[in-house]
């Protein structure tokens, strides 16, 4: 990237733009669809008795009244008809008119009203993606077939978090993960990356090539210290679009055996209380932004606990719990809260853990991709993907297995 998108300037005299979100009332069945869309899946309800796929979500099969179950389905389809909406009584859509919608015959069977990419018209083959709208609910978005299509469609941008041209805060930029994230954000075209470095300040930080990149602004930031956080945020002159919370405190140890109270407390201070501090400080800043997002990096051990890293896993579980509440709070402001789960990392904290381990650069790439795809929940690497699959399938069994 040679020419970097300039940072957005803020007019100090202009009245702040009010942000609205897409209409949010949904049925319980639709929430079940959204929960799957959050994982990046394209699902429909399919009848257990007759195999009919149905949409919009129902509570009984319209063909035989059998039980419906969510299934991953083919996402291809064809546009039947289209319209460009030029008036709306809804405040969110009024801010984004004109808005294109169409009707698609899905290859899986049902018909769906879809958000229509600007390059599409009736008769076109499409790939329908199940994305979360600005209210956090699943929505069908018809895109041109995979390949090089125009990601700058303003409608599509409402469903994702563009990185180019944005100001991003990385809460812990000193760790191997943090450095990789800063590098990936730089490569993705972020216009300013505020890199948080916990004191004390070190010569090696000042000399690190990643932290010396032109778009990177190192700041002192310790999530366990309210004053440090406030000072760091005050140094971000201008709007803040994205926060990436890479802070974590990884230590081995059990509960009654090998448990270190000081380390456990530190893990909670960083992962749980730190998240709350960061959310309180950044939430209002993100709420005013057109594509505000907060990405939290979590251990997949947050799902079940871990006998070997009990304190760390407990702190990560607390963090996950706080994150769910934060997501709920930010939904009304249209700020996306993204969770990225990982297993053991190829870094200094997992020296004695056998592979598979995830390279920091891969975590960084997954974070950027989660933003650009608007995916609420991502698992990086085999360990986290396997953990999530097992946990979704049978949480009681997986919790037992994990702590044997």
Partner 1 sequence: MSRPPAPYDGVAVCAPVTVPYARFSPESAHWWAGRALRQLAQATGLTARDIDGFCFASFSTAPDTAVGLTQHLGLSPRWLDHLPTGGASGVMALRRAARAVQCGDAEIVLCLAADTNHIDSFRHSLAGFSRFSQDAVYPYGFGGPNATFALITDAYMRAFDITREDFGKLCIAQRANAGSNPLALQRRPLTLEAYLAGRPIADPVHLYDCVMPCAGADAFIVTTPEIAAARGLAAASVLATIERHNAFPDDPVQLRGGWAMDIGRFWDAAGIGPSDVDTLQVYDDYPVIVAMQIEDLGFCQKGEVAQFIRRTRFDITGDLPLNTNGGQLSAGQAGAAGGFQNVTEGLRQIIRQPLGDQVPDAEIALISGFGLVNYDRGVCTGAAVLKALR
Residue 56 or 356: which CB sits closer to partner 1?
Answer: 56
- Residues constituting the chain: 404
Among the candidate windows 85-93, 144-152, 338-346, 387-395, which touches partner 1 by CB under 8 A? 85-93
Instruction: Please report whether residue 145 would count as binding partner 1 according to CB under 8 A.
Output: no
For residues 379 and 309, what is the distance between their CA atoms, to the nearest angstrom? 20
Given a contact cutoff of 8 angstroms between Cβ atoms, the answer to whether 68 and 33 are in contact is no
Shortest distance, position 86 Cβ to partner 1, whole Å: 5
- Residues 251-270: x where in contact with partner 1 by CB under 8 A, - otherwise, as a string: --------------------
Among the candidate windows 2-10, 111-119, 191-199, 337-345, which touches partner 1 by CB under 8 A? 111-119
User: Which position among 48, 60, 80, 397 is part of the footprint of partner 1 (CB under 8 A)?
Assistant: 80
Residue 139 or 244: which CB sits closer to partner 1?
Answer: 139
User: Which position among 5, 88, 217, 385 is part of the footprint of partner 1 (CB under 8 A)?
Assistant: 88
Among the candidate windows 107-115, 227-235, 278-286, 324-332, which touches partner 1 by CB under 8 A? 107-115
Shortest distance, position 215 Cβ to partner 1, whole Å: 36
Q: Across the beta sheet with 68-72, what order do the strands follow?
A: 53-54, 43-47, 68-72
User: Which position among 51, 62, 238, 258 is part of the footprint of partner 1 (CB under 8 A)?
Assistant: 62
User: Which position among 47, 127, 131, 133 is part of the footprint of partner 1 (CB under 8 A)?
Assistant: 133
Instruction: Please report whether residue 345 would count as binding partner 1 according to CB under 8 A.
Output: no
Shortest distance, position 132 Cβ to partner 1, whole Å: 11
Residue 89 or 351: which CB sits closer to partner 1?
Answer: 89
Instruction: Please report whether residue 114 would count as binding partner 1 according to CB under 8 A.
Output: yes
Q: Is 230 left (phi over 0), alpha (psi -120 to 50) or beta?
A: alpha
Residue 112 or 126: which CB sits closer to partner 1?
Answer: 112
Instruction: Please report whether residue 84 would count as binding partner 1 according to CB under 8 A.
Output: yes
User: How many angstroms separate the Cα of 314 from the Cα of each of 273, 289, 318, 383?
Assistant: 13, 33, 6, 18
- Residues 19-48: x where in contact with partner 1 by CB under 8 A, - otherwise, as a string: ---xx-xxx-xx------------------
Among the candidate windows 17-25, 251-259, 335-343, 358-366, which touches partner 1 by CB under 8 A? 17-25
Among the candidate windows 83-91, 170-178, 198-206, 220-228, which touches partner 1 by CB under 8 A? 83-91
Given a contact cutoff of 8 angstroms between Cβ atoms, the answer to whether 184 and 362 are in contact is no
Residue 113 or 213: which CB sits closer to partner 1?
Answer: 113
The DSSP bridge pattern shows strands 99-106 and 111-116 to be: antiparallel
In sequence order, the 6+-apart residues with CB closer than 8 A to the CB of 278 are 171, 223, 229, 243, 245
Shortest distance, position 324 Cβ to partner 1, whole Å: 22
User: Which position among 35, 105, 164, 236 is part of the footprint of partner 1 (CB under 8 A)?
Assistant: 105
Residue 84 or 230: which CB sits closer to partner 1?
Answer: 84
Among the candidate windows 7-15, 77-85, 294-302, 354-362, which touches partner 1 by CB under 8 A? 77-85
Instruction: Please report whether residue 122 would count as binding partner 1 according to CB under 8 A.
Output: yes
Among the candidate windows 42-50, 51-59, 364-372, 381-389, which touches partner 1 by CB under 8 A? 51-59
Shortest distance, position 99 Cβ to partner 1, whole Å: 4
* Sites of contact with partner 1 (CB under 8 A): 22-23, 25-27, 29-30, 55-57, 62, 80-90, 92-93, 99-103, 105, 111-115, 122, 133, 135, 137, 139
């Amino acid at each position: 990237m040679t020419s970097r998108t300039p940072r957005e300037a803020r007019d100090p005299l202009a009245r702040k733009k009010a942000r609205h979100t897409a209409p949010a009332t949904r049925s319980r069945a639709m929430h079940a669809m959204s929960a799957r869309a959050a994982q990046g899946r394209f699902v429909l309800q399919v009848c257990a008795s007759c195999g009919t796929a149905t949409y919009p979500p129902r509570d009984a099969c319209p063909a035989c009244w059998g039980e419906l179950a969510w299934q991953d389905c083919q996402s291809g389809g064809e546009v039947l008809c289209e319209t460009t909406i030029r008036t709306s009584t809804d405040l969110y859509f009024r801010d984004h008119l004109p808005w294109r919608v169409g009707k698609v015959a899905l290859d899986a069977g049902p018909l769906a009203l879809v958000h229509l990419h600007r390059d599409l018209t009736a008769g076109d083959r499409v790939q329908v993606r199940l994305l979360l709208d600005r209210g956090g609910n699943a929505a069908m978005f018809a895109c041109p077939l995979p390949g090089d299509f125009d990601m700058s469609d303003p409608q599509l941008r409402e469903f994702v978090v563009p990185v180019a041209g944005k100001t991003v805060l990385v809460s812990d930029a000193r760790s191997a993960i943090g450095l990789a994230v800063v590098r990936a954000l730089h490569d993705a075209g972020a216009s300013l990356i505020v890199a948080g470095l916990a004191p004390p300040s070190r010569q090696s930080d000042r000399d690190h090539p990643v932290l010396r990149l032109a778009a990177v602004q190192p700041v002192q930031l310790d999530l366990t210290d309210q004053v440090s956080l406030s000072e760091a945020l005050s140094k971000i002159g201008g709007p803040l679009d994205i926060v990436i919370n890479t802070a974590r405190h990884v230590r081995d140890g059990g509960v009654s055996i090998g448990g270190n109270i000081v380390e456990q407390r530190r893990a909670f201070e960083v992962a749980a209380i730190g998240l709350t501090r960061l959310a309180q400080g950044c939430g209002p800043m993100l709420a005013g932004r057109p594509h505000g997002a907060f990405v939290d990096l979590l251990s997949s051990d947050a799902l079940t606990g871990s006998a070997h890293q009990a304190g760390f896993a407990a702190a990560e579980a607390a963090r996950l719990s706080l994150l769910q509440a934060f997501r709920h709070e930010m939904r009304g402001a249209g700020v996306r809260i993204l969770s990225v789960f990982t297993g053991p990392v190829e870094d200094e904290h997992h020296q004695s853990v056998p592979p598979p381990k995830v390279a920091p650069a891969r975590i960084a790439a997954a974070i950027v991709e989660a933003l650009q795809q608007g995916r609420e929940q991502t698992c990086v690497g085999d360990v986290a993907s396997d953990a999530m699959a097992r946990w979704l399938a049978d949480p009681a069994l997986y919790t037992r297995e994990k702590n044997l």
